[in-house]
Amino acid sequence: MHNPALLPSSYQRAAERSMAVLLNCYLREYAQPRGAVEEASGELPRALKIHPHVLSIRFPHLEKACLIAHQGRLRSNYVFCSEPYAQASVSRVLDWRELASLVIAELGCEFPQAFNSELLAQVENSLSNLQQYYAHPPSPGDSPFLYSEQMLSAGHTYHPAPKAREGMSDVDLYAYSPELQAEFQLFYFGVSERCFVHKSNVELHPGLPDLQRTFSGFSDQPIVGVHPWQARFLLEQPVVQKALQDGRLTALGTGGIRFSPTASVRTLYSRHSPYFFKQSLHMRLTNCVRKNAWYELESALLLDRHWRALPQALPDFTLLSEPAYTTVDLGDTLTREAFSTIYRDARPIQSSPHPVYMAAALFGGTADGQLLERALGGGDALEWFREYCRLIVWPALHYYAHHGVVFEPHLQNTLLQVQGGKPRHGYFRDLEGTKLVGSRLHQTMHPEIARSVYYSDEQAWRRFAYCIVFNQLSEVIQHLSAVPAVELWQATRQSLHDYQAAYGNRESQRIILRLLQDRKLPVKANLITRFLREKDRNATYVWVENPLR
């Protein structure tokens, strides 16, 4: 049995994890492209002498370096096994704040800017939240799907502040975090008919105005439900206070069925609702303030209509539709966005005869090994991986090559149905990250809507290659440790050839050749993007060695 006294504290684990993701970001995005990392040589601190692998990571502009032991480069990223040491005449251990300050100061010299104290605060906020999640791990419950949404305690492997949630108090953290298995009712507003906005592509079952009215327990007027945290934000806005005074809005309070936040925090799920509620939260979560921008409301409906018109050639794949939205129009953009909910179809998940898991729970940074073992079912891991490629890689490639639809199929947007230890069905979700390429419809659109929907050829290639090769396959291959990585990459190459033989066209052949032959491929640079305070849609990309070659 484990002796709890010998286990690392939740703070220690959180600090170690925070430094590991920060260093892996720095290495991939900055140090490695500049040749600023190497295996250490010469005199080492006593604590590092017992380790066979020690990195020397340089901060060239600062003329400083740190030393840290690692277990060898494990397929896609480094697994560290010591504290970082300042490489100086007298080496000493660096804490997370000193390490983060070195990274930020180095970037400030490369991209001439003042020290980004906001980023340092985000790293601290992420670490503090992570400590709470480690101290209170979720329990499985009776819904494998919901459990998989709640277990991403450490978040993105390549983000400098993966659990940063600016604006969440300690009380809010426990009330609204999926990692702490939060569950809550919505806060409802009654809305005058002239201010209520409801747009839909299809006749919904039940109709969305009735859906919210039924679930809230209120009646007699249009109803809009918002996240309780967002309700506090809204009630502080002068335009909302004026609307409450003149009767355009009525604050009805909390009620109705209870919702659980999914991994994105702002998208809510209830087994009693046929739709996920993707709501605005005017809170910065990792990179962005997670609101439904007005043009994203319109683009979700446009993309949903576009998708419905396409031939569905792959029977083992489903895109979760987003057929409608509701909001309030008080004559300003802020409240039109802040009251909004996009409705995502949950019925394909709820009607599945077999367990459905979010892929990030199987292969994310702190994935539950038992959940992955359950999904594998003790079978042939290589064959399991081949099926995963067919269900996930093939649809991303197919709709890109045949129809110019570029999904954002990172692990958190990927769901997998598993039966008896075998993948049976793949799902993508979240039309916000889905783009179109090669269409001229955008010439008749508002520029912001067009910018939200359409990608250039190069933007499309960057998104596809990054999500499939690095955010998907590299993470999956890292966690399927029972099979040598070289065999899994070979299986990936074969799966691409198999797709081409079954469904390919000239465009898919071009894409596959780039995947297999380009010396370097693009990866999203979350650290540099956050340092430069860029919007996510203007993210920086860097180019790294192609593991498929």
Q: Which of 347, 371, 399 is the last residue of a domain?
A: 347
CA–CA distance, 505 with 398 (Å, rounded to integer): 9
Question: Residue 268: helix, strand or coil by DSSP?
Answer: strand
User: Is 156 contained in some domain?
Assistant: no
Q: For the residues of 2-31, what is the DSSP string, one character each?
A: --GGGSPPHHHHHHHHHHHHHHHHHIIIII
Same domain for 408 and 436, yes or no, is yes
pLDDT at 76: 56
pLDDT at residue 539 in the model: 87
Q: What is the value of pTM for the model shown?
A: 0.93
pLDDT > 90: percent of the chain? 75
Neighbours of 385 (CB within 10 A): 22
Per-residue pLDDT, averaged over 10-18, amounts to 94
Residue with tokens 């987003």: 322
How many angstroms separate the CA atoms of 87 and 70, rounded? 16
Residue 175 domain-assigned? no
317 plus 394 within the same structural domain: no
Task: Confirm whether 56 is domain-assigned.
Answer: yes
Mean pLDDT over 8-26 rounds to 93
Last residue of one domain, picked from the residues 294, 312, 347: 347
| Residues 376, 333 share a domain | no
User: Per the domain annotation, does 500 fall within a domain?
Assistant: yes
Q: Is the pLDDT of residue 212 over 70?
A: no
pLDDT value for 75: 46
Determine contact, residues 458/522, Cβ cutoff 8 Å.
no
For residue 438, CA distances in Å to 405, 466, 511 come to 9, 20, 15
Q: How far apart are CA 118 and CA 423, in angstroms?
A: 42
Confidence of residue 42 (pLDDT cuts 50, 70, 90): confident
Same domain, 450 and 530: yes
What's the pLDDT score for residue 451?
81
- Evaluate whether 362 touches 418 at the Cβ level (below 8 Å): no
Shared domain for 368 and 338, answered yes or no, is no
Sign of CA pseudo-dihedral 137, 141, 144, 145: negative
- Establish if 374 belongs to a structural domain: yes
Q: How confident is the model at residue 372 (pLDDT cuts 50, 70, 90)?
A: confident
Question: Higher-confidence residue: 510 or 209?
Answer: 510
Q: Long-range contact list for 377-381, CB < 8 A, 24+ apart?
A: 377/418, 377/420, 377/421, 377/422, 378/421, 379/421, 379/422, 381/480, 381/482, 381/483
The answer to the question of residue 137 being in a domain is: no
pLDDT confidence of residue 304: 94
Sign of CA dihedral 353, 143, 152, 303: positive
Question: For 525-543, what is the mean pLDDT?
Answer: 90
pLDDT at 367 over 60: no
Q: Which helix (H) or strand (E) holds 205?
A: none
What was the pLDDT predicted at 5?
47
Please indicate, yes or no, whether residues 396 and 410 belong to a single structural domain of this protein. Answer: yes
Q: Is 328 within 8 Å of 191 (Cβ atoms)?
A: yes
Q: What angle do CA 517, 521, 522 make, to 5 degrees?
A: 160
- Among the residue ranges 42-46, 186-190, 302-306, the one predicted with the least confidence is 42-46
Flag whether pLDDT at 206 surpasses 60.
Answer: no
pLDDT tens profile 444-495: 677 788 888 899 999 999 999 999 999 999 999 988 988 999 999 999 999 9
Give the β-pairing of 317-319 and 422-428. Answer: parallel
Does the pLDDT at position 442 exceed 60? no
Of 331, 347, 363, the one marking the end of a domain is 347
Q: In terms of domains, do 259 and 357 share one?
A: no
Give the span between the Cα atoms of 516 and 493, in whole angstroms.
Answer: 7
337 plus 375 within the same structural domain = no
Give the DSSP H/E element, type plus range, for residue 490. Answer: helix 485-503
The mean pLDDT of 128-143, rounded to a whole number, is 91
Q: CATH number of the domain that 529 lies in? A: 1.10.510.40
Q: For residue 131, what pLDDT band results from cuts at 50, 70 and 90? A: very high
- Report yes or no: 339 and 297 within 8 Å, Cβ to Cβ: no
Q: Residue 286 in contact with residue 266, Cβ under 8 Å?
A: no
The answer on 74 and 26 residing in a single domain is yes
CATH number of the CATH domain containing 99 = 3.30.310.280
Check whether residue 528 and residue 383 sit in a common domain.
yes
Output the pLDDT for position 510.
97
Mean pLDDT of 208-219: 59
The per-residue b/e assignment along 71-94, b for 16 or more CB within 10 angstroms, e otherwise, is: eeeebbbbebebbbbbbeeebeeb
Q: What is the pLDDT of residue 224?
A: 93
3 has pLDDT over 50: no
Domain contains 173: no
Q: Is the pLDDT of residue 83 over 90?
A: yes
Q: What single string gives the DSSP state of each residue in 377-442?
A: TTS-HHHHHHHHIIIIIHHHHHHHHHH-EE----GGGEEEEEETTEEEEEEE--GGG-EE-S-SGG
- Domain count across the chain: 3
Number of H helices, E strands in the chain: 21, 25
Name the residue range of residue 408's domain: 353-545
Establish if 142 belongs to a structural domain.
no
Chain mean pLDDT for the chain: 90
Query: What pLDDT shows up at residue 6?
Result: 45
The Cα–Cα gap between 276 and 344 comes to 5
Q: Is 323 in the same domain as 459?
A: no
Q: How many CB atoms lie within 10 A of CB 401?
A: 22
User: Is the domain of 392 the same as that of 431?
Assistant: yes
Q: How confident is the model at residue 285 (pLDDT cuts 50, 70, 90)?
A: confident
